[in-house]
Amino acid sequence: MAIVKLRPHLAGLLTGVALGAASFAVQAADTIKVGVLHSLSGTMAISETTLKDTVLMMVDEQNKKGGLLGKKLEAVVVDPASNWPLFAEKARELLAKDKVDVVFGCWTSVSRKSVLPVFEELNGLLFYPVQYEGEESSKNVFYTGAAPNQQAIPAVDYLMNDLEVERWVLAGTDYVYPRTTNKILEAYLKAKGVAADDIMINYTPFGHSDWQSIVSDIKKFGSAGKKTAVVSTINGDANVPFYKELANQQISAEDIPVVAFSVGEEELAGLDTGPLVGHLAAWNYFMSIDTPANEAAIANWHAFIKNDERTFNDPMEATVIGFNLWAKAVEKAKTTEVDKVSDAIIGLEVPNLTGGTAKMLANHHLTKPVFIGEIRDDGQLDVVWQTEGEVPGDAWSDFLDGSKDIEADWVTLKCGNYNTKTKKCSGQNY
């Protein structure tokens, strides 16, 4: 193989290129990378795209404040496309290839379950901003959405006590969140004296569109002379034909009210809301709540997105809270190192947007208020019921035999699945 001598000016040029590349690498490493893992296409894009925009807004705001630890933040956005195995691939890409310091992402529990082994293997940090079924506490995940005791249980209590509902339709999309939530609710209802014959459970696939026979069954179930309600864990764009079919079969909120756990302002913005007026949603935030903090947040959102018609919703608030807690923990720990940030964040508090405070608990869940909202014809919701203060998130249900003895505590017990009877940690993380 011949040895080629470079001319002096060419050697100098290549040296300059090499130095420039090295300088660029140092510059790139001098940013704090924020991963964004939300579906921008597929059945869940109707809900998740706006969460991507929320993270970008928070990164922009933090950079305007000077960044963190003297560094600018850099968002790294991927699209797992409502494809659950692809979520795991994209998570690995963010952690192993892009070397992100934190990830904000996932909506469905099946997507979170898909990425969980990746975050635990690579010791990544995930902030999960959506209501979920509980029954989990990982050292690598902070759950900023509602646990069942912060949404599902209060919603059932409201229907039972205030609307005197006696028959229950538990309707959900066929995956882990609706199935586990409905398992909890079924046990809770039976503990309250509801007969098995007064509980109807139904599951449909993601993107389900033909609701005629199911809604007909709901209508028939509700005609037994007892007040009936639908508790809906239907997710994604299947909600559009579901509510349309309720209207087609002339089922009003007065006849059979629906309380939804996955329909908020963003989803309502894409619907003809006329037939939905009077139906309900249970969340920890509504855009219509009148507080200075909420007014400022909505104004910031509209300025960032450059569209005053864009809505703000519960998972967006949970994203804002999670981001602010993470930033506060980074400043406290003086590093983005996952273990140190995870230790620093426990016990930290930030204001929520509804006039209270969100505190990160030792079980990696938040304190949150609970609101029941009634859908208006403009796609907003009026609060008809709320808790007196914040409710601490419970990682494990008190109403399931396999869970009521389990406790999550990453400070004292260093365990997300501690059995209070056997005094043993039943798993490394959850």
Domain membership of residue 11 (yes or no) is no
What phi and psi values does residue 106 have, to the nearest 5 degrees? 75, 150
End position of a domain, from candidates 369, 400, 415 = 369
Domain membership of residue 380 (yes or no) is yes
Judgement on whether residues 320 and 191 belong to the same structural domain of the protein? no
Those residues whose C-beta lies under 8 Å from the C-beta of residue 261, and which sit 6 or more positions away, are: 131, 151, 152, 155, 181, 231, 232, 233, 281, 282, 283
Residue-wise burial string across 56-76, b where 16 or more C-beta atoms lie within 10 A, e elsewhere: bbbbebbbeeebbeebebbbb
Q: Is the dihedral of CA 360, 363, 367, 373 positive or negative?
A: positive
Residue-wise burial string across 387-399, b where 16 or more C-beta atoms lie within 10 A, e elsewhere: eeebbebbbbbbb
Judgement on whether residues 285 and 220 belong to the same structural domain of the protein? yes
Q: What is the pLDDT of residues 242-251, one digit of tens each?
A: 999 999 999 9
Rounded-to-integer distance, Cα 160 and Cα 60, Å: 44
pLDDT on residue 56 = 98
Helix axes of 314-333 and 292-305: crossing angle, nearest 10 degrees: 90
How does strand 381-386 pair with strand 258-260? unpaired
Judgement on whether residues 165 and 270 belong to the same structural domain of the protein? yes
Calculate what percentage of the chain has a pLDDT beyond 90: 86
| pLDDT score of 5 more than 90 | no
Structure token digits, residue 392: 């601490």
Judgement on whether residues 255 and 307 belong to the same structural domain of the protein? no
Question: In the structure, what pLDDT confidence band is assigned to residue 272 with cuts at 50, 70 and 90?
Answer: confident
H or E, element range at 318: helix 314-333
Judgement on whether residues 268 and 305 belong to the same structural domain of the protein? no
Judgement on whether residues 362 and 375 belong to the same structural domain of the protein? no
Rounded-to-integer distance, Cα 180 and Cα 423, Å: 25
Domain membership of residue 332 (yes or no) is yes
CATH assignment of the domain containing 328: 3.40.50.2300
DSSP 365-385: BBEE--EEEEEPTTS-EEEEE
Judgement on whether residues 227 and 375 belong to the same structural domain of the protein? yes
pLDDT on residue 268 = 86
- Expressed as residue numbers, the domain containing 65 is 26-146+291-369
Question: In the structure, what pLDDT confidence band is assigned to residue 27 with cuts at 50, 70 and 90?
Answer: very low
Calculate what percentage of the chain has a pLDDT beyond 70: 92
Q: What is the pLDDT of residues 353-390, one digit of tens each?
A: 999 999 999 999 999 999 999 999 999 999 999 999 99
Judgement on whether residues 229 and 329 belong to the same structural domain of the protein? no
Provide the domain count of the chain: 2
Rounded-to-integer distance, Cα 74 and Cα 32, Å: 6
Contact 51, 320 (CB under 8 A): no
Judgement on whether residues 246 and 381 belong to the same structural domain of the protein? yes
Say which residue, 237 or 93, is predicted with more confidence.
93
Rounded-to-integer distance, Cα 108 and Cα 205, Å: 13
Domain membership of residue 427 (yes or no) is no
Domain membership of residue 6 (yes or no) is no
Judgement on whether residues 274 and 263 belong to the same structural domain of the protein? yes
Domain membership of residue 277 (yes or no) is yes
Domain membership of residue 428 (yes or no) is no
End position of a domain, from candidates 369, 399, 419 = 369
- Cα 36 to Cα 18, 55, 312: the distances in Å are 31, 7, 18
Domain membership of residue 242 (yes or no) is yes
Judgement on whether residues 251 and 341 belong to the same structural domain of the protein? no
Q: Would you tell me how many other CB atoms lie within 10 Å of the CB of residue 94?
A: 28
Judgement on whether residues 340 and 382 belong to the same structural domain of the protein? no
